[in-house]
Structure 1
Amino acid sequence: MRLCTPASLFLTVVAVVLPGAAPAHAEAPPPACATAGESDFPLTTRIHGGPDSYRAGGGFGTWYLELTNTTGRSCAGIHPVVVLVDDDRVLRASQPLLEFYTQDRELPHTVRFETTDEDELVGALADDDAGFEGFTVGAGRTLTVKLRLALTSDTVAGEVVATAAVVQRREDDGDWVGQSDEYRFRIGTGTGADPGPDGTDPASPDPRDGDPPSAHELSGTGLGGLDTALAATALLLAAGGVAVLLGRRRR
């Protein structure tokens, strides 16, 4: 499988998932999901169900990330990383409000985005503070993760492409084990670009009810309060093993 994701983005993705150390409560790292000699990713990854458009300051739109384990072994410690790229590269990390659900709790987890040098936004489906150690996808099984996305009222109209790079976290190391297709959507302003009843989660709070939280207010969630300095440190740690990490890319 040939990937279009550049090495620089891959390193940033790994850095977001690996904040420099495994959680204190974590047990031994899970067995590797990817093995040498395989030509494809072990997890087939697909985004589906999302609305074609969102309105800045409007409600949440719901979509799904489907992870299918094509191997005969279980894959644990799985952290999808959502990558958002807008055509004009003006989307800021504080503007997308992304949440994901796990089976062990009713309330969603919040995703915190970081900005790469190329103005892409990357946010890991991770929450160390809540004890979430990643998804587990059984051998030959499919796991569907529910997400919901909204945009703050100051978001500029434009076109966005969302993809998911999937990393298996193994202590202070990580394997790239999946990459999704593209999910394209528009961001509009005014009253004509809401996701509509097919994409809006009616039970979710509306970001228009009060000021949406900023990225700094969300720093206590997601990757255990991962900040920019810590992300940079983690990136250096990941870069130290660049030959190993890039060798694990599937071509």
Structure 2
Amino acid sequence: MRLCTPARLCLAAAAAALFAGAAPAYAEAPAPACAAPDDHTFPLTTRLRGGPDAYTSGGGFGTWYLDLTNTTDRTCSAIHPVVVLVDDRRALEPSQPRLEFFEGARAHPVRFEKTGEDELVGAFTGEEDRFAGFTVGPGETLSVKVRLAVTSDAAPNDVTANAAVVQRHDDDGDWVGQSNDYRFRIEGDGPGPDTGREPRPDSDASVPPRKDRFPFAEELARTGTGVQVAAATAAGLLVGGAALLLVRRRS
């Protein structure tokens, strides 16, 4: 398991914290892997786009999109994004962001948990309404609608959102994508929410990462780079159980 650096917002930790050890009763047969075992790139190119620059505490929802592009000749099913929110003040609480993702016209709430480094991690699991994950066909792009609001007690702050993408296989899974950064502000009480304009349509769009995107711990120690959270120990988000899913980074 590789470690992650502050610059990448500990997406490995987010992916590792996606599911409990046991598959839910409604799960179907394990999905076939998205990519071949010897492929060292992420099979899903992942992009956050269209979000507003700012959200008002106590205001309405702002809308954005998570694009999942399957770069392989295989169908990718049982796909679950994991959103990480990192605020500059480390003051954002799990109850303050109200995030929903859409499966067609159906909205699913996202439950956030706080990690030991005060990041908020929320998995697209839909555990209350049996969401089995997204399916993306070969060469296709799926745009997932997401909307976010913040509660009235959220303090003014600057926040960076990022997403890891995991393909679930029973009691473990593969880390199959990671997104660009989406930066926004939380502002105090005002006249109303932002309407979801698209200020940064092309900023930091993700590409399939190099094999060395996340250096090993020894490499980080030699270079003096700070390590926030190891993927294997990110136990902040446990959905319905006490075991931690081990997510396999393609290597």
Alignment of 1:1-251 (within 5 A): 4=5, 10-15=12-17, 17-103=18-104, 106-191=105-190, 194-196=193-195, 198=197, 233-235=242-244, 238=245, 241=246, 245=247, 248-249=249-250
CA distance in 1, matches of 2:193, 2:77: 36
Amino acid at match of 1:44: T
| Greater RCO (CA < 8 Å, at least 6 residues apart) | 2
Q: Say which structure is richer in helix.
A: 1
CA drift of 1:110 comes to 0.2
| SS of corresponding position for 2:24 | coil
Normalised to the residue count of structure 1, the TM-score between the two structures is: 0.76
Amino acid at match of 1:113: F
From the superposition, tell whether residues 55 and 38 of structure 1 become closer, same or farther in structure 2 (CA, over 3 Å): same
Could you report, residue by residue, the CA deviation over 1:106-157 in whole angstroms, capped at 9, with x for unpaired residues?
3310000011111100101111332210000001100000000000000010
- Contact kept, 8 Å, 2:64 with 2:196, in 1: the verdict is no
CA distance in 1, matches of 2:83, 2:237: 17
| SS of corresponding position for 2:40 | coil
Could you report, residue by residue, the CA deviation over 1:202-227 in whole angstroms, capped at 9, with x for unpaired residues?
xxxxxxxxxxxxxxxxxxxxxxxxx9
CA drift of 1:35 comes to 2.7
CA distance in 2, matches of 1:194, 1:7: 26
- Contact kept, 8 Å, 1:187 with 1:193, in 2: the verdict is no
CA drift of 1:14 comes to 2.6
Could you report, residue by residue, the CA deviation over 1:177-216 in whole angstroms, capped at 9, with x for unpaired residues?
00000000000002167314747xxxxxxxxxxxxxxxxx
CA distance in 2, matches of 1:178, 1:124: 14
2:228 corresponds to which residue? none
Instruction: Structure 1 unaligned segments of length 5 or more: list them.
Output: 200-226
Cα RMSD, aligned residues only: 2.6
CA drift of 1:7 comes to 10
Normalised to the residue count of structure 2, the TM-score between the two structures is: 0.76
Aligned-pair identity (%): 55
CA distance in 2, matches of 1:170, 1:127: 16
- Contact kept, 8 Å, 1:41 with 1:178, in 2: the verdict is yes
CA distance in 2, matches of 1:196, 1:230: 32
CA distance in 2, matches of 1:76, 1:101: 16
- Contact kept, 8 Å, 1:34 with 1:175, in 2: the verdict is no
Amino acid at match of 1:14: A
